[in-house]
Amino acid sequence: MDNQSYDVVVIGGGNAALCAALAAAEHGAKVLLLERAPEAKRGGNSSFTGGGFRMVHHGASDIRRVVPDLSDADIARTDFGEYSAETYLDDLGRITQYYIDPDLAETLVRNSTDTVHWLMGRGVKFLPNYGRQAYNHEGRFRFFGGVVIYANGGGAGLVEAEYKAAAKHGVTVRYGARAMTILRGPQGVEGVRALVAGAEEEIRARAVVLACGGFEANREWRTRYLGPGWDMAKVRGTRYNTGDGIRMALDIGAQSYGQWSGCHAVAWERYANDYGDVDGQHSAGYRHSYPFGIMVNANGERFVDEGADFRNYTYAKYGRMVLAQPGNYAWQVFDSQALYLLRDEYKMRGATKVRADTLEELVGRMQDVNPEGFSKTIREYNAAVKRDVKFDPNVKDGKSTVGLAVNKTNWANTIEKPPFEAYSVGCGITFTFGGLKIDTSTHVLDIEDMPIPGLYAAGELVGGLFYFNYPGSAGLMAGSVFGRTAGREAGGYALRAP
């Protein structure tokens, strides 16, 4: 057993952990970061992301401050809109059915823009997300759904820049290092016990930051907490987030918080691997263009309003809807009117895709779909579409269906113009919503709502932020805001501690 001593130990190696490690080091603390994954697979779910950040902004001039090389031509062809703190808070409230912890929501929103600037100061570069968050429609882009920017190089680029900054700030990183237990003494946290390359080590620290993800990669906990069937979901990202941080904190008296039966889960390539693969084409699994088509189940029936809102506000809850269908799968169906809008992943190798010039041929090729049910659905759907309303992918265009049991509220083009394409999807889990209770300074709270001295948390394992649903690109933003706060607070505490 090797004995070592630090001011702050950060557990986890993704965005929240790196923000915490950086902020603690900037505070003057001696910091150790423990990443369970080997170096080649470091970075957690953060490295799998598209790198989107949801921040408050007031239009082009704020965006230019974050993207200094934005050209005048880009500005001229783009409507960035505005995303005020009030709208952000409204979105968080509405999306979570007003269960969100209001103090955590305020902290996230009010610190979002400043934290993006803080990341820029540490080498992260941001770009506007044309194509994903704004479509080229009649020569103009208009950003929708509250998100404009993403980190250069996506999640992989973000994490790379953060590891570089951590090295520059003198953070020690150990890979293949799985924290197992938090050491708690009479005054509070005293360190952690970890398995490093199969050997147990005790690491002394005045403060510990937990930033080691949710329990999405733990098949057994998924079934236990999310419910039957969740063992069958594919994990979109890292295999290392198995709930260790949550368990370790609960073991020393932390309070569980948030929606333990809830998670972020999307319609995902049906035959995707069990976990994301950082070396492979993990992004090939995305099937986020469903607002421009329809989704049908094994009976050939629609089961969800594909156009209820911008995809940023529906995708994270529709994975659950797919999982609930017979056989846990569905097909997304598009006609030639929408094919130009499909995201690049639809064209990548590994997509379960069929194409045909007639709908009869198409359904014949769609594995395990009832053809009569499908034909009836298409007939009724096409008859219900408001044909006189103009289609516009950048706004909620109100082009809806009328009179169906499950109506489509926006972007309801008919499915009638060949060629037709269909893509088979299953459920891909992104991260879990239940976790630990923290205050706005990221102290982990016990059942009496009292801080456990020296223990801080940030990122996915924080409960109370998301319920039922999630607004796209709030995860990295939350991890950054609370990670930075956790590092600052833990660093300050450790240096003050006797």
**Binding region for ligand FAD (CB under 6 A):** 11-17, 34-37, 43-46, 48-52, 178-179, 211-213, 236-238, 240-241, 244, 430-431, 459-460, 473-477, 479
CB-nearer residue toward ligand FAD: 284 or 294: 284
Closest approach of ligand FAD to the CB of residue 269, in Å = 11
CB-nearer residue toward ligand FAD: 316 or 415: 316
Closest approach of ligand FAD to the CB of residue 115, in Å = 12
- Cα-to-chain-centroid distance, residue 291: 19
Query: In this structure, what DSSP letter does residue 313 have?
Result: G
| Whole-angstrom distance, CA of residue 375 vs CA of residue 330 | 16
Do the beta carbons of residue 208 and residue 33 sit within 8 Å? no
Closest approach of ligand FAD to the CB of residue 271, in Å = 17
CB-nearer residue toward ligand FAD: 178 or 302: 178
How is the beta sheet containing 149-151 ordered, strand by strand?
52-53, 149-151, 126-128
Residue that the structure tokens 């990443």 belong to:
35
In terms of Cα–Cα distance, which of 134, 161, 159, 135 is closest to 147? Answer: 134
CB-nearer residue toward ligand FAD: 52 or 393: 52
CB-nearer residue toward ligand FAD: 300 or 472: 472
How far is CA 247 from each of CA 386, 456, 467, rounded to the nearest angstrom?
52, 14, 20
Element containing residue 190 per DSSP (H, E): strand 188-196
Closest approach of ligand FAD to the CB of residue 29, in Å = 19
| Whole-angstrom distance, CA of residue 98 vs CA of residue 468 | 10
Closest approach of ligand FAD to the CB of residue 465, in Å = 10
Beta bridge partner(s), residue 83: 57
What is the chain's percent helix, strand, coil content, to nearest 5? 35, 25, 40
CB-nearer residue toward ligand FAD: 21 or 385: 21
- Cα-to-chain-centroid distance, residue 25: 27
- Cα-to-chain-centroid distance, residue 123: 22
Closest approach of ligand FAD to the CB of residue 322, in Å = 16
CB-nearer residue toward ligand FAD: 9 or 369: 9
Q: Establish how many alpha carbons lie within 13 A of residue 261's alpha carbon, considering only the half-sphere containing its beta carbon.
A: 3
CB-nearer residue toward ligand FAD: 415 or 477: 477
3-class secondary structure, 135: coil
Closest approach of ligand FAD to the CB of residue 438, in Å = 13
Closest approach of ligand FAD to the CB of residue 38, in Å = 9
The encoded tokens of residue 402 equal 């009328």
